[in-house]
Amino acid sequence: MDEAQKNHCTLDDLSTKEKAKVIRIDAKGPFKKRLLEMGFVQGTIVEVIKYAPLKDPVEYLVKGYHVSLRHEEAQKIIVERI
């Protein structure tokens, strides 16, 4: 495992106000297409805005838009902390 891969995690591992760069999406079919359409493409910077009161869903800032994802959805997005 190289140094960059050590810094990889899933989107749901991030804390509030933390930023990361999208590395890949580990999903298939319509769900992957939906994530790509929402802006979760390779190289995009994502910031965690806030967690809902019960910690699910989580609000993210992606390409200037606020997007909410459930933890199970965010687990499919591999990111690199920045």
What pTM did the predictor assign?
0.90
Superfamily of domain 3-81: Ferrous iron transport protein A (FeoA) (2.30.30.90)
Among positive and negative, which fits the CA dihedral 82, 25, 67, 75? negative
Q: Mind listing the pLDDT tens digit for each residue in 44-79? A: 999 999 999 888 999 999 999 999 999 999 999 999
Q: What residues contact 64, with CB distance under 8 A and at least 6 apart? A: none
